[in-house]
Structures are given as C-alpha cells and as structure tokens.
Chain A
C-alpha cells in the first residue's frame, strides 16, 4: 500500500494566486513527521516545511503553510501569492517512528506546478 499519495500529477496556477497541493498518508505509528520538498528543473531537492504528528499548530514558513488534518491523514501544502519561480515538482514525504535517530523518508509521486504569468 502507498504510504504517501499525491493525487494531482500536475496543475496550473495563475501568478499571485494561492495553490493547494494535496497529500494523504498512511501510517499506524502515532509518531511521525511530514515534509514537503520542491524540485525545480535544475533537479535539486529543496526542503520547504515540516509538520510533526504531535504539533498542535499548522506549520508555516513564509509563503508556505501546511494544512494538517490528522484525523483525515492529510497534509496539504498551501503556497500563497504564487511566483513564477514556484514552478517545480513538489513532493510530500513522511518519516515514521519514535526512534531518537531518524528513520527513512518515504516520498509521494509528486505534483508538477506551473505558474502562469
């Protein structure tokens, strides 16, 4: 079974508008972390934002916010005021477990975003 599901293979967004990228996850572990990465055409992986399963508030980092709905096992990324430079692939990832040291990161299939001027 897929651990991380991103149902939107690609989407267009108008410059300056907000866009929501969907991510659902599957785990029975009560302790986990959720991550979003951006991969522009250059290929580098850029960390955007992190949400812990026990965090009481939704994470925010500048124009990025994470809409964390724990009961629905959903961790959607919201990008506000889209810019042309936001055009990229976006990946949702999860790390499970309570070990002091990290466990492996499992990635979703990604969503390609194209910002239109």
Chain B
C-alpha cells in the first residue's frame, strides 16, 4: 500500500489477555516507530527500529510490552497480560531515514481493555 497500515483498527480485550498489534510500514522505509497516545494526550514513545541496528526499547513501560520487526519490514507490538491502563491508541510510523525526513503515521489501533 501507499501508506503505513495498522491492524486491527480497533481491539477490545479482556484484562489479562495478550494482544498483538501489527504495523506494515511504507515499502523501503528503514525506520519504524511505535507510540502510545492516551485520550487527549501527547504521543508517548515506545520503541524504535532502524535497519539492522538494535532497537531502542527505552520507552517500553514494562516487561509486558515487546516488539519485533521481521525482515526489516512488518512489526508486531505484543502486550502480555493486558491491564486497563494499557487502553490507548497505539500509533505506528515509518520514515526513510535521515534526520530531515518526516515520519509517516498509520491510523492507529485503538485498544480497549475491559
């Protein structure tokens, strides 16, 4: 596709269940980012992948959160044993690299933990 694609667009899960969120970046983009946005708030950095380098995981809030990026393309964000405070919109973005290039965002996955 032409843009960053995220799936699912909405996810409702029960507390304690695991969830997987998927991100398909723009083809050829070497950088991929995950952010979390709670209602009416700013973007909280979670994790950043750049090419074959080790990911920057400094934003992951707990060890229940993990992410991987296979083949330098698709990324999956996994939240284990979900809690109600995990409810938020999870945004994925990609960029072609270089400090001057903007990041292109997907539409996000709205996660609701009940």
On whether A102 and B99 interact (CB within 8 A), knowing A91-B43, A107-B43, A109-B42, the answer reads yes
Interface 0/1 of B21-33, CB less than 8 Å to A: 0000000001101
Q: Which of B78-97 contact A (CB under 8 A)?
A: 89, 91, 93, 95-97
**Does A33 have its Cβ within 8 Å of any Cβ on chain B?**
yes
Q: Establish whether residues A104 and B56, one from each chain, have CB atoms under 8 Å apart when the complex forms.
A: yes
Q: Which residue of the partner chain, among A52, A91, A104, A105, contacts B100 with CB atoms under 8 Å? A: A52
Q: Which of B30, B35, B43, B53 has the most CB of A within 10 A?
A: B43
Residue of B35, B98, B103 near A100 (CB, 8 A) is B98
The A interface is mostly helix, strand or loop, or mixed, namely: loop
A50 within 8 A of B: yes
When the two chains form their complex, are residues A32 and B56 in contact, meaning their CB atoms are under 8 A apart?
no
Q: Give chain B's interface residue range (CB within 8 Å of chain A).
A: 20 to 34
- Alpha-carbon distance between A43 and B45 when the two chains are bound, in angstroms: 17
B2 to chain A, nearest CB (A): 14
Please tell me if the beta carbons of A101 and B91 are within 8 angstroms of each other in the complex. no
A47 near B104: Cβ-Cβ < 8 Å:
yes
* Chain A residue total in the interface (Cβ 8 A): 27
Chain A residues within 8 Å of B51, by CB: 101
B100 touches A33 (CB 8 A): yes
Nearest-CB distance from A36 to chain B (Å)? Answer: 10
Contact of B107 among A44, A95, A99, A105 (CB under 8 A): A44
- Interface contact B42-A98, CB-CB below 8 Å: no
| Residues A102 and B105 in contact in the complex (CB < 8 Å), given A32-B99, A45-B91, A109-B42 | no
Contact B45 A106 (CB under 8 A): yes
Interface assignment of A7: CB less than 8 Å from any CB of chain B: no
Q: Which residues of B approach A to under 8 Å, CB–CB?
A: 30-31, 33, 35, 41-43, 45, 48, 50-51, 53, 56, 89, 91, 93, 95-105, 107-108
